[in-house]
Structure 1
Amino acid sequence: MTPITTFFRNLEAKCCAACGQTIHEQAESYANECSDCQEKMSYDAYKYYHLKK
């Protein structure tokens, strides 16, 4: 069995599912998008739902 420290040390860098940029956070995080893409998606959703004319 692989020691837990070796397992986490050998994980590949996480990449954003939207833009491919490396995500600098803990590997066990559930986030799939970088903070820039999360902000853009939130603003796009806001515009779609609240700024309809």
Structure 2
Amino acid sequence: MNEETGKNMSREERLAAKLRENLRRRKAQGREMSQQSGESGAEGLSKDSERS
């Protein structure tokens, strides 16, 4: 996001854009970590369902 775009956006729009960027970054980190440890997404889901 450049400065001109940031100045024209409302506070809510800027926050939403930052949240989307953060979510993309966190998802990428999660995928990277799961690949390194050899875990699959299905294993994480079964652990969460056992807690309920």
Give the strand-richer structure, 1 or 2: 1
Instruction: State which structure, 1 or 2, has the greater radius of gyration over its C-alpha atoms.
Output: 2
TM-score normalized by the length of structure 2: 0.39
TM-score normalized by the length of structure 1: 0.39
Give the helix-richer structure, 1 or 2: 2
